[in-house]
């Protein structure tokens, strides 16, 4: 079940540490940089409008503009760095620039890797840049982003980090691994990190975003996982079922959606396979669909009923959800 294709070929998302004993010349540099940073922030919207104009224009003009921002993305001043990173993200999100990324992929990957090791804001930008490089260049960039993938795995599993940052890095890790590598080993490492993250969520948790994204990202990578990924997924099915009875509506829905995917994924590899707890799963879903508890908001009950009804129908008869 290993990967053997470049998935994007089928078709054209702080603060600097304050050292107390800086030398005088360092302080002068800092004061100069602070003024430069203020200027950067003041003119950022104007610059972004210019980038939008470049995007609407010819590709060569856009590439020239982005090439300038590559240099600024390594600037010692945080304001200039983040502004340059935002410009790069905007350009790479708006256009498919395979030749540009191919030419600069090592530099872009290094920029992303450095950003992931800095402030929280830069972590978010660097993670996004790493994912975009992978989307644009495919597995040709695998070697260049390997260090970034390792750092993303570390952040995703670090409980000391903010959940929003971990969730963003989980998504970027999955996308960068899925599109930017052709390695069973790297996929297995990403699967391990993502699994470690979603399984650490307690059924009584009220914060759901990290669980939702790490679980969905884990499911994405299962499709191209190593040969033992199928067996591991089957073993993890009861854990996912357990989250159907979580306190948080969003966690229950996320678990149900991935459970439906898991049924399809396993059936595709092992036609006719039936999970030993299938009847128990159906009982849980029926209970949730009939839930009339007054402690839950009407909106939550509506969303849960709509989503889990689709899951139940698919699990029971293999019918794909309908939007009608």
Query: What CA dihedral angle connects 258, 263, 139 and 85, to 10 degrees?
Result: -10
The per-residue pLDDT for range 258-277, each reduced to its tens digit, is: 999 999 999 999 998 999 99
Contact 2, 224 (CB under 8 A): yes
Identify the band that residue 98 occupies on the pLDDT scale cut at 50, 70 and 90. Answer: confident
Identify the band that residue 256 occupies on the pLDDT scale cut at 50, 70 and 90. Answer: very high
d(CA 124, CA 163) in angstroms, rounded, equals 12
Residue by residue, what is the 3-state secondary structure of 298-319?
Answer: HHHHHHHHHHHHHHHHHHHHCC
Residue 54: which residues within 8 A CB-CB, separation 6 or more?
Answer: 61, 62, 64, 65, 91
pLDDT of 10: 47
More confident residue, 6 or 221: 221
In this structure, of 3-7, 63-67, 159-163, 187-191, the range with the lowest mean pLDDT score is: 3-7
More confident residue, 225 or 130: 130
The per-residue pLDDT for range 215-241, each reduced to its tens digit, is: 999 999 999 899 899 999 999 999 999
pLDDT of 57: 54
Query: Domain limits of the chain?
Result: 227-324
The per-residue pLDDT for range 157-200, each reduced to its tens digit, is: 999 999 999 999 999 999 999 999 999 999 999 999 999 999 99
Indicate if the alpha-carbon torsion angle 43, 46, 52, 53 is positive or negative: negative
Judged against a pLDDT cut of 80, whether residue 33 lies above it is answered with no
């Amino acid at each position: 079940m290993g990967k053997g294709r470049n998935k994007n070929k089928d078709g054209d998302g702080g603060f600097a540490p304050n050292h107390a004993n800086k030398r005088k010349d360092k302080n002068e540099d800092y004061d100069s940089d602070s003024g430069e940073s203020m200027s950067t922030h003041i003119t950022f919207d104007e610059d972004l409008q210019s980038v939008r104009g470049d995007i609407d224009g010819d590709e060569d003009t856009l590439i020239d503009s982005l090439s300038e921002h590559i240099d600024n993305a390594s600037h010692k001043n945080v304001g200039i760095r983040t502004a340059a990173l935002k410009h790069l993200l905007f350009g790479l999100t708006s256009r498919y620039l395979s030749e540009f990324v191919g030419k600069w992929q090592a530099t872009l990957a290094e920029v992303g890797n450095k950003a992931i090791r800095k402030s929280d804001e830069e972590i978010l930008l660097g993670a996004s840049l790493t994912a975009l490089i992978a989307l644009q260049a495919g597995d040709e960039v695998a070697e260049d982003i390997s260090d970034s993938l390792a750092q993303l795995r570390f952040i995703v599993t670090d409980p000391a980090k903010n959940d929003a940052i971990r969730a963003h890095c989980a998504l970027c890790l999955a996308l960068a691994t899925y599109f930017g590598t052709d390695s069973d080993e790297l996929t297995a490492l990403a699967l391990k990190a993502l699994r470690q993250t979603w399984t650490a969520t307690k059924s009584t948790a009220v914060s759901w975003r990290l669980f939702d994204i790490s679980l969905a990202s884990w499911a994405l990578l299962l499709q191209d996982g190593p040969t033992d990924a199928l067996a591991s997924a089957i073993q993890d099915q009861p854990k996912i079922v357990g989250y159907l009875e979580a306190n948080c509506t969003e966690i229950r829905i996320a678990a149900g959606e991935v459970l439906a995917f898991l049924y399809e994924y396993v059936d595709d590899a092992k036609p006719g396979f039936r999970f030993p707890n299938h009847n128990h799963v159906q009982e849980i879903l029926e209970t949730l669909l009939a839930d009339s508890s007054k402690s839950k908001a009407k909106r939550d009950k509506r969303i849960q009923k709509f989503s889990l009804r689709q899951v139940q129908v698919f699990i029971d008869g293999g019918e794909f959800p309908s939007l009608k």
